[in-house]
Amino acid sequence: MTYLDANATTPPDPRVVEAMIPFLTLHFGNASASHAAGRKARRAVEAARSQVATAIQARPDEIVFTSGATESINSVLLFAQQQWPARPLLIISTVEHAAVIEGALRWEQCGGRVKRVPVDTNGLVRLDALKAALEPGQTALVSMIWANNETGVVSPMSEIVALAHEAGALVHADAVQMVGKLPVDVDAMPVDYLSLSAHKMHGVKGCGALFVSRRVPFSALLIGGGQEFGRRSGTENVPGIVALGKAAELAGEVSTHDLAVLRDEFERYLIVGWPGAVIHGGSSDRLPNTTSICLPGVDSAAMLILLDQRCIACSGGSACHTSLLHPSHVLEAMGFDAKHASSTLRFSLSRMNTRDEVMAAAAEVIRTARHILEQRDALSSPVEFT
Ligand code: PLP
């Protein structure tokens, strides 16, 4: 299989699997236990905390391990609303992941207000609209996706942070698609909270982290045994955490440049092969691995089935949407209509892909699209009865 769906999930790096296996077999101790097996697990968790902190230039005590980014995001939103009742406003963008969208709906159900800042046709958050939305003294939190999972468009995070802080609001960055693909430095980019996920960076599913800046408060969503220094109760997923630590260490190895060169070559092939093709966010800063492309006239649902049969894994938007026949809210927010969205495919590469397989996939995509068009034309031509 040629796997081009890394924004949905990445294949675990074999070195990550190798690092975690001993913690599924030999070193199974509970990290809270005081005996040798427990101490071994504790040391591994703390080593992983340092690895994750180093990957984003944070301090180890600013990292809280969670079950994934959905939990990290939920924790921040619920905490902020509870902590600052006198500041009822939450600001998000119109191109967030479902975890933030649903979290914002709950914020409203609990009596808060939410403003959703639009993006432009390139998928960039409109800073003028953000500035107008911010109500100093009323805004508890600005939660923004740092790099978009569907288009790869990278948000103007320094401007977002500066505007939010000027208005006295804190910032949560959904950095799930950033970490491991582009450098993240929370010292240089002073976000207050940041969510990341292991399975998007060649770790394993069911593990993630929340960065909480030492400058800001936080209290646990999950309470009980007081693990994670009281910030997230529940017995630690030691193998998953070890895997996340290793994945974070390896993230530094990724050559953003090489990935971008390959992605650009892939895109050029598609653009030449399909006149009228549109790359979403093509003129914005984008992740080096993501191509969201509209092939006008081609039904992406049919493409997904045929490409799957031809052993190419990609997606028709965000993975969370594939079971729903609803146009992507991200493309809608960028001003594209349902017809355009229904001809859109997302390809997301990773460091595990080779040039040969990626370019062979590009050729197969064009072949498949032509095949669909030929079939459609054959069906619509009049049948002559004799
Ligand atoms: N945020 C973004 C931008 C994502 O792409 C995803 C996963 O698709 C999430 C949040 C949720 O991450 P997790 O799968 O770790 O819960």
Q: Which of 6-15, 23-32, 369-378 has the lowest mean pLDDT?
A: 369-378
* Domain containing residue 19: CATH number: 3.40.640.10
Identify whether residues 31 and 87 lie together within a single domain: yes
Structure tokens at 80: 């902020």
Q: Are 119 and 333 in contact (CB under 8 A)?
A: yes
Q: What pLDDT is stored for residue 383 in this prediction?
A: 57
Any ligand 1 atom below 6 A from CB of 151: no
Ligand 1 centroid vs 126 CA: distance in angstroms?
A: 23
Identify whether residues 169 and 284 lie together within a single domain: no
Any ligand 1 atom below 6 A from CB of 208: yes
Q: Of 77, 145, 149, 237, which is best to mutate to test ligand 1, by the most ligand atoms within 8 angstroms of its C-beta?
A: 149
- In degrees and rounded to multiples of 5, residue 117 shows phi and psi of -80, 130
Is the model's pLDDT at 385 over the cut of 90?
A: no
Domain that holds residue 263: 255-379
Identify whether residues 236 and 281 lie together within a single domain: no
Q: What pLDDT is stored for residue 321 in this prediction?
A: 46
Identify whether residues 183 and 207 lie together within a single domain: yes
Give percent of the chain above pLDDT 70. 96
Identify whether residues 147 and 50 lie together within a single domain: yes
Is the model's pLDDT at 237 over the cut of 80?
A: yes
Structure tokens at 228: 């994670």
First to last CA, the chain: 46
Identify whether residues 313 and 220 lie together within a single domain: no
Banded model confidence at residue 343, pLDDT cuts 50, 70, 90: very high
Mean pLDDT of 315-328: 62
Is residue 230 a part of any domain in this protein?
Answer: yes
Identify whether residues 223 and 79 lie together within a single domain: yes
Identify whether residues 73 and 181 lie together within a single domain: yes
Ligand 1 centroid vs 349 CA: distance in angstroms?
A: 17
CA dist 251 and 57 (Å) reads 13
Catalytic residue IDs = 320
| Ligand 1 atom having least distance to the Cα of 145 | 3
Any ligand 1 atom below 6 A from CB of 197: yes
Ligand 1 centroid vs 273 CA: distance in angstroms?
A: 32
Provide the domain count of the chain.
2
Identify whether residues 365 and 338 lie together within a single domain: yes
The whole-model pTM stands at 0.96
Is the model's pLDDT at 323 over the cut of 60?
A: no
* Domain containing residue 262: CATH number: 3.90.1150.10
Any ligand 1 atom below 6 A from CB of 147: no
Is residue 385 a part of any domain in this protein?
Answer: no
Is residue 8 a part of any domain in this protein?
Answer: no
Is residue 1 a part of any domain in this protein?
Answer: no
Q: Which residue has the tokens 């995001």?
A: 73
Identify whether residues 200 and 145 lie together within a single domain: yes
